[in-house]
Structure 1
Amino acid sequence: MQHKGVQHKMEWGGNLQIALRWACPIIAVMMGITMSVGMTAESHQRWGSVKRILMAWEFDRDGDLEGWQPNGHLADVRVQGGILTARAINWDPFLTSPQFELPARPWQCIEVRMKADRDGTAEFFWTNTTKTRYGGFSPGKETTFAVIGDNQWRTYRIHPLWHAEGKIILLRFDMFNECAFAVDYIRIIELNVPPVREQSVFSFQHDCDDWWAFQNAKLRCADGAMEVRVQAHNALIIAPPLQLTDAIRHGILSLRMAVDAGYKGTIFFATDGKHGWQRHNFELRPDGRMHTYNIDIAMHPNWNGTIIALGLRPSDKPRAVARIEWLRITNHPQGKPELAIQIFGLAGAVHRAGIPAKVQLMLTNLGGEPARDVRAILSLPDGIKLLNDSAIRKLPHLDWAVEETLTWDVIAQRALTATVRVQISAVNAPTVQGRAEVKFTPKLSVGKYDYVPPPQPVHSNYQVGVYYFPGWRTWDRWEPILPFPERTPVLGWYREGDPQVADWHIKWAVEHGISFFIYDWYWVRGARQLEHALHDGYFNARYRSMLKFCLLWANHNPRGTSSHEDCLNLVR
C-alpha cells in the first residue's frame, strides 16, 4: 500500500490552515492498518498543529476497505481511486474499524477528510474493550460533529478526550440516514500543545496567553483584552493544558468579559478520571459592557480530581463578539460588587384595580466583594400609589450570589397599564435601574358563594382538549416556581386532588371553550402514580359531567415491568 503523495489542505481550529506534504514516509502495514512510524507534519510547533500521525487509514488501493466493516444500513460501499464511498439507506449506518491498540492521551484527535450530499450529525464511537452488547461500544463514549452537506471536501477534527480509557482498540464511524458520502482518509493524530500549566490565572492584557481557537472562532489580542469572534453556535476556544490538582478546592471560575449577543456561555473542562468534555452553562449579560462572571463551577458533579483541560464558548450566538480581560480559577469570587436585578414587577398573575398588590424586586450581587449600603427607590406612575409606606428599601450589605427580595404594597385607583421603575445604588457599586410594565384590570363585582359558582359553559363545534400534568399535590412541589411570582396560579397555591380545586378547574375550562382534559397517568403492574388529580379530584367533583377526560398513559416504566399481560390488565 502506498501513502498518498497529494497535498491536502487541512482545516484546523480557528483560522489555522496547514498544508501537509508527505515525502517518502516510513509505514508499516499491520492487520490491514496503516501505522505511522516517525511520520510527522512539517516542522512547526504551533498550538494545535499536528505533532505526529499515530494511525491512518488512507483507502489508497481499489477494493481495499483496510479492515473497516460496514453494517447493513450502508449500501454501495466501495474503495476506488483513493476514496471510500457509500450510501446510508437506513436509520443507523456505520463502519467499524479493524482492531488495533493505541495508548489513549488527552491531546489526540480523530481527523476525517470527507464530503456528503446533505447536512447531518455524524459521530465516532471509541472503546478499550470488545465486551459490551454493542461489540465493545457503549452510549456515552462517542463524540459527535456536524457534517456540511454541500459535496465539498472538508477535514473535520474530532477531539474525544478519551485518555481515561487507558487505550483505544476500536473505532466506529456513524453517519446519518439518506445521505451519500465519500471519505478520503481517517487518521488519529497527536497535537502540538504548549507546556502544561499548574496555575490557572490568565491575563489577556498583552497577548492571548496561549489560548487557541479550536473550532468556529477567531482570536486576537487588542486593547488589553482577548477578542473572540463567534462564527457558529458551537464555537470553542481552549486554554493551554492544565494540571490543576484537587479541583474541588478551586471551585470558583471567574472571568471579566463583555459580549454583545447571546443567551448563554459555556465552560468546558476535562478531568484526569473521566473521558470527554464536561460542560457548565452560565447566563450572559449581552449588553457589550464589561461584567465580572463568578461561576460556581464546583456545583458540577464532575468538577473533581485533576483538571487537565479548559475551554470556553463565550456565546451561543453566531457573529457575537466577546472581549475577555482575564480568567481565573480560585477558591473565592473575584471582582468589585455588581448589582443585578433578577426579578422586578407585580407578584401574582392577575391584578385588579382597587385591590392591594405587591411590587417585588429580587436583587443579587454578581461581584466578589460585598455591596455596602444598598438602597432601592421605587417610582410609581399616576394612578398607582403606595399604601402607607416609604418608596425606599435598604440593605446594609449584599454578598456575592445572595438573593434578597424587597417588596412594596401598592394599589391602583383605576384599571390601567403603566410602567413602574426602580433605581438601586450602593456606596461601592454602579447604580442599576429597572423597569416593568404592570397591568390592573377592572374590579369585578362578585357575590358571596359557599362553593364554586356554577359554570357557564361556552359552546363550540370543536372539541378542544388541554394536557394536564398532576404535579401539584403538596407544598414542596410549588417551591421551584416561588422565585417567579408572575407564575402564581390565579387560584393560589392550591392542593391538587381536592374536589373543590377540580371544580374551579372545570369551571374556568368550560367557560373558555375547553371540552376535555388529557390527564398524564401512570400504571406499573397495577400500581398507579400521580392519580390524585383524576381519581381524587375530578371523579369527586360536582361539575365533572360538564367536562370530558382522556388518559395519556405515560408508559415509560422501569425495565422489566412491562408485559402483554400487564397491558391487558390495564385496558380491561
Structure 2
Amino acid sequence: MNILVALLVLVSSLSAGCTLPEWNFESEKDLKAWIPNEQVDQLQVADGTLSFRTTSWDPFLMCEGQSITASPWQYIHIRLKADHPGMGDLFWTGTTDGPYGGLSEEKKSRFRVQGGNEWEDIVVAPFWQTEGTIHKLRLDLYEGSHFEIDFIKICDWSSGATPSSETTWTFSHGKAPWTVLPGEQLLFSPPLELDAAQLTWAVIRLRSSRTGILGLLWGCGGERGLQSQDIEVKGDGRMRTYNLLLAGIPSWRKPVNALGLRLPEGKDNSIEIESVTLSSEPAGPPDLEVRSFGFENGVNRQNREASLMARISNLGGGSAHGCRLELQIPPGITLKKGSQVTELQSLRYGDIAVATWTVVSEQAGDRDVSLKITGLEEPVLAQTTLRFYPERTVTPLPYPPPPQPVSGEVDVCMYYFPGWDSPAKWDCIRTVAPIRKPLLGYYDEGKPECVDWQIKWAVENGIQCFLVDWYWCRGQQILNHWFDAYREARYRDFLKVAIMWANHNPPGSHDREDWRKVTREWIEKYFPLKSYCQVDGKPAVFIWAPDLIRNDFGGSAEVTAALQESQQMARDAGYKGITFIAMGNHESENQVQTLLDEGYTGATNYHEWGTAAEAAMNMKRYRFEDVVASEPGTWARRDRMCGSLTYYPVVDTGWDSRPWHGDKSLVIEGRTPELFEKLLTAARDYAISAKKPFIVLGPANEWGEGSYIEPATEYGFEMYEKIRAVFGKGDPSGWPENLSPADLGLGPYDFPPQPLVSSWDFDREPGDWRTMMNTGPLKTADGALHFRTSSKDPALMAGLNGIKAEDYSKLSLRMKITGQIKDYSHCQVFWSTEGSSISEATSLSLPLQRDGEMHEYVFDLSSNPRWRGRIAALRLDPCDEADVEVVIDSIALRK
C-alpha cells in the first residue's frame, strides 16, 4: 500500500531507547517466557526465530509474570510468518482473578495473518491503560498451521511527548503530524488530552484508488480497548471529505488520549491523506450519493407497469440546493408516471430523497437505464439493468394455487426466521436495503395466505423442510406467529417443519423443571403436526446452544439425565423418542464426545463460511467466492471431527447486516445466483458421496442480517431456481413455473399503511408496539400495557412512519416496574432514522425508580445530535432486569 509515507513519521524513528519488554527468541530464555498449551507442537528456537505447529482448535502461548506499566500509546509488534492464513487474538490483563486468570473476551485485540510463508508485521494497539499494570499476555492462533515468530515487542509511539489539545492535522508541506506503525496499516496522532463533549464530528479529507473501509480509531482514559467507527471510502481517485458523527457513541468521551486511522487494506491501494479535523459540525461541499436505484419490486414483466425507485443522500457538510435528477431510458420503455427531469429537494447532511417512476417495457429482456444528478461541481451518475420477464396471460385467482412439489436427489432443509410480525421490523429494510424487498412485499407473517405462498415456492423448488427459529425462555415465548399461521395454512402438509430452539437466553434460564415444560410443549403442540420433521424415525429438535444448557444445569451429567427424561416423555406419548441435533459446540473431539454422552446424535451450524475470513483482505469484508471455494473442505473437516455424531452440511446464504448494525457490520460481498449454484452443486455431490440424508441451507429470510434467498427484488426467483436446478429430479420442462402474486392478481401482502402516531395511551391495544425480544405476551388492561420480562435485555419496538425529528424534542414514558431491581438499572430508548440503523449512539437512558410506583421518565431527545432527519422506528428497553412486571401507562413524543 502506498500512503505517501513521506508526509508521516515512521515509528522506527520514535521508539529508539524503548525500555519496554521484547522477546527476540535468540535464546532459551525467550522460549521459556512464552509457554505453549498442549495444542502447540514442535516448539523450538533456532536462528533467532521461534517455530512451532498448531494441532487443534485452540492453540496459544502464555506469557506470565510481567509488570508492564500500561499507557494508551503502547502497541504490540509481532513479526511472524505462517503457511496458512487465519485469525489470531492477543489477550492481556492486569489482574489474575476470575475463571481464566484475568483473561476475558473484553480484554483482547484481534488480528489477521495473511499466510503464504512470507514475513509480515502484526501490529495491535490495545489501549489497555485501564489495567494499570499488565501482568499477563496470551497469544492465540489457529489450528493446522506452521508458524515462525521473529520477535514480539511492546513499543510506544508517544516518544515521551506531552499530551496536547490539538484538533486539526494537515498532512502537507513536509509536515509529519502522525505516526505510521509497522505494516503501514495504522496511523496515530501524538498523545492527546481532549474533551470530547464539543468535538462531535471527525472530518477526514483523503483520496483513494480503491473502494474500501476506513476506520477512525481512538482511545479514552476510562475506556478499555481500541474504539472505532468505520466509513466506506470511494475508490475514484478524487479528493473527498468524509464526515463521521461521533456524538452519542458511548465510548467517545473525555479524555480522548489518541486518534488514529486504520487504512483500507489492499496491496494495490494508494491513499493520500490531506487532513483530519475534530469539530462541532460536518464540513465539506455537498456530496450526493445514489444509495439505491432500480426496481422497487421483483419479477417485473413486459407490458405491465413497474415501479422504478432511487434513494439519494447527502454525505457532505454543505447543503445541496437546486439539483436535478435526469432519468435516461432506452427506446421501448415508456414512462407512465413521473418525469424524466425532476427538481431535487434541498438536502442537508444525512438527508435522503426518494424518487419514483412508473415504466412499461414493450419487450422482455435486460434494459439499461441511467440516472444523472446535476447542479454540483461534477454530475453524479448511476446505472442499473432492469430485467423484464416475458408477459404471462394467467387467469386471476382468488387464492394461491396448490403446490406441485419437485422432489430432489437429496433432501433440502432451510432455516426460517419468523421475525417479521410488525411494520416497524421492516423499516430497516425499507430505508437501508430496499433491494431486499420480498416478492410478498413487506409482509405480515401472521397471514396464512403468506405462509401458503412460502410453502408453494419452497416445495416447487426442491426444499422439503423449514427449520424454524423458535424462542422459549423460562416459559415465555415470542415470535410464534409464523407457526400459528402455518397451522391455519391450506398447504401446510406439503412442507415439513422442525423446531430450531434459539436458546441464546441469559444465564440461569434453563433448569430441569423448565426443561420438562419445554419438552411437554414440543410433544403436545408441535410433534403432532402431520408434517413435523423426523430424523432417524423420531421428531427432530435442533438446539442452538448446548453449552448454555450445560452451564445452567451445572454439568454434563445433568444434561444427560434431562435428555433421557425427554426421550422417555416422548416414548410415553407414542413416539420413538427425540432426535437432538446440536447447532454448535462440536469444534473438538472433547466437545463432540460431550455431546454424544449427553444424548445428541447430530450436529450442524446456522452459518458456514469456510475459510473466507482467513482469505479476506479486510476483517469486515469477506468474499462469497471464498465461501464457495472453502466450504467443501470445511464440511469434510467437520464430518471427520464429528465422527459418530452425524454432521449435516450447511450451504450458506450470505451475510450483510448493515440494516441492523450499520457501518460496523461484517459484509460478505459478491453473492450471486451463479456462485450459489456452484456451492449447491458441491453440497449435492458431497451429500451423495458421504451418504448424508439431507443438507441444510442457511436462512431463507434473515433480511436484517443479510442472509436470505426467499424470492425478492434483488434476484426474483433465481436463488430458489438454482436449488431446483441442482437438486431437482425429473424433466425440468415438467417443473411448475414460478409465478408471483402479481402474476395471478393477488397481493400485495404488505402491512397496511400506518397513520402518523406520536403518542400511545394503551386504552385498548398495544397499537404500534410489538415485542422485539425477551418479553412475555403484551396485554392491555386498565388503560395500560402489561408484560413480564424474560431476560435482562427486554425490548419493544414501534414504527414512526418517518416523522420529522425536529418536530419533537422529548419522549415521555409513564411506567412502573415491580420486582427485584438493582441500584444501577436503567431504561433506554433507541431510534433509527431513514437510512441508518439502531445503535447505542442513537439512544438515551435514565435510571429506574425502584419503589414499584408509576413514574414519568422524560428523555431529552434533542440533547443527542443523532436525533435528526426522519425517524423510522423507536425501540424501548424498559429495564435491564429479568422476571419483573412492567406496566406502561403511556408513551408520547413531545414538541
In structure 1, which of residues 188, 194, 198 is the aligned counterpart of residue 165 of structure 2? 198
Q: Decide which moves more: 467-476 or 85-94.
A: 85-94
Counterpart code for 1:450:
P
In structure 2, which of residues 477, 482, 486 is the aligned counterpart of residue 538 of structure 1? 486
Displacement of 1:120: 4.7
1:399 paired to 2:356: no
1:243 paired to 2:193: yes
Displacement of 1:375: 1.4
Alpha-carbon distance between aligned partners in 2 of 1:569 and 1:465, rounded to the nearest angstrom: 28
Q: Hey, what does 2:505 align to over in structure 1?
A: 557
Alpha-carbon distance between aligned partners in 1 of 2:471 and 2:11, rounded to the nearest angstrom: 60
Following superposition of structure 1 onto structure 2, how do residues 349-388 of structure 1 map, counting pairs within 5 Å? 349-387=298-336
Aligned partner of residue 447 in structure 1, secondary structure: coil
1:499 paired to 2:448: yes
8 Å contact from structure 2 (residues 327, 371) kept in 1: yes
Aligned partner of residue 504 in structure 1, secondary structure: helix
> Which structure has the larger Rg over C-alpha atoms?
1
In structure 2, which of residues 190, 205, 208 is the aligned counterpart of residue 259 of structure 1? 208
Counterpart code for 2:97:
K
Q: Hey, what does 1:106 align to over in structure 2?
A: 72
Q: Hey, what does 1:232 align to over in structure 2?
A: none
Change (3 A) 1:351 1:146: closer
Alpha-carbon distance between aligned partners in 1 of 2:29 and 2:167, rounded to the nearest angstrom: 51
Alpha-carbon distance between aligned partners in 2 of 1:303 and 1:518, rounded to the nearest angstrom: 41
Following superposition of structure 1 onto structure 2, how do residues 428-507 of structure 1 map, counting pairs within 5 Å? 429-483=377-431, 484-507=433-456
Q: Hey, what does 1:214 align to over in structure 2?
A: 181
Counterpart code for 1:456:
Q
TM-score with structure 2 setting the length: 0.52
Displacement of 1:567: 4.5
Q: Hey, what does 2:107 align to over in structure 1?
A: 141
In structure 1, which of residues 315, 323, 330 is the aligned counterpart of residue 272 of structure 2? 323
8 Å contact from structure 2 (residues 338, 358) kept in 1: yes
State the superposition RMSD in angstroms: 3.4
Following superposition of structure 1 onto structure 2, how do residues 69-148 of structure 1 map, counting pairs within 5 Å? 69-74=35-40, 88-111=54-77, 120-146=86-112
Higher strand residue share: 1
1:227-267 CA distances to partner (integer Å, 9 max, x unpaired)?
xxxxxxxx22222222222x142121112221111332211
Displacement of 1:81: 9.0
8 Å contact from structure 1 (residues 464, 515) kept in 2: yes
1:303 paired to 2:269: no
Change (3 A) 1:80 1:486: closer
Aligned partner of residue 160 in structure 1, secondary structure: coil
8 Å contact from structure 1 (residues 261, 320) kept in 2: yes
Alpha-carbon distance between aligned partners in 2 of 1:316 and 1:58, rounded to the nearest angstrom: 28
Displacement of 1:83: 7.1
Q: Hey, what does 1:513 align to over in structure 2?
A: 462
1:426-470 CA distances to partner (integer Å, 9 max, x unpaired)?
2x5432222221122233223233332223334545433333221
Q: Decide which moves more: 178-187 or 473-482.
A: 178-187
Structure 2's unaligned 5+ residue stretches are: 511-548, 554-558, 571-895
Alpha-carbon distance between aligned partners in 1 of 2:302 and 2:19, rounded to the nearest angstrom: 74
1:51 paired to 2:17: yes
Counterpart code for 2:101:
G
Q: Number of aligned residue pairs: give it.
A: 513
8 Å contact from structure 1 (residues 526, 570) kept in 2: no
Aligned partner of residue 464 in structure 1, secondary structure: strand
Structure 1's unaligned 5+ residue stretches are: 1-12, 17-43, 218-234
8 Å contact from structure 1 (residues 59, 66) kept in 2: no
1:280 paired to 2:246: no
Change (3 A) 1:462 1:241: same
Q: Hey, what does 1:268 align to over in structure 2?
A: 217
Alpha-carbon distance between aligned partners in 2 of 1:148 and 1:462, rounded to the nearest angstrom: 37
Aligned partner of residue 550 in structure 1, secondary structure: strand
Identity of aligned residues (%): 35
Change (3 A) 1:57 1:342: closer
8 Å contact from structure 2 (residues 75, 126) kept in 1: yes
Q: Hey, what does 1:164 align to over in structure 2?
A: 130
Counterpart code for 1:368:
G
Alpha-carbon distance between aligned partners in 2 of 1:171 and 1:14, rounded to the nearest angstrom: 34
Q: Hey, what does 1:32 align to over in structure 2?
A: none
1:364-396 CA distances to partner (integer Å, 9 max, x unpaired)?
222211111121122222222222543222235
Counterpart code for 2:179:
W
8 Å contact from structure 2 (residues 169, 177) kept in 1: no
Displacement of 1:321: 0.5
Alpha-carbon distance between aligned partners in 1 of 2:140 and 2:48, rounded to the nearest angstrom: 21
Aligned partner of residue 486 in structure 1, secondary structure: helix
8 Å contact from structure 1 (residues 70, 94) kept in 2: yes
Alpha-carbon distance between aligned partners in 1 of 2:328 and 2:4, rounded to the nearest angstrom: 49
Displacement of 1:335: 0.9
Alpha-carbon distance between aligned partners in 2 of 1:135 and 1:435, rounded to the nearest angstrom: 56
Displacement of 1:76: 6.1
1:73-122 CA distances to partner (integer Å, 9 max, x unpaired)?
44566778987666544443444334243321122344556666665544
Alpha-carbon distance between aligned partners in 1 of 2:342 and 2:287, rounded to the nearest angstrom: 18
Counterpart code for 1:130:
T
Counterpart code for 2:177:
D
Q: Hey, what does 2:803 align to over in structure 1?
A: none
8 Å contact from structure 1 (residues 259, 314) kept in 2: no
Alpha-carbon distance between aligned partners in 1 of 2:116 and 2:327, rounded to the nearest angstrom: 57
Change (3 A) 1:570 1:239: farther
Counterpart code for 1:339:
L
Counterpart code for 1:452:
P
Alpha-carbon distance between aligned partners in 2 of 1:488 and 1:145, rounded to the nearest angstrom: 36
Change (3 A) 1:341 1:118: closer
In structure 2, which of residues 278, 281, 284 is the aligned counterpart of residue 332 of structure 1? 281
Higher helix residue share: 2
Counterpart code for 1:138:
S
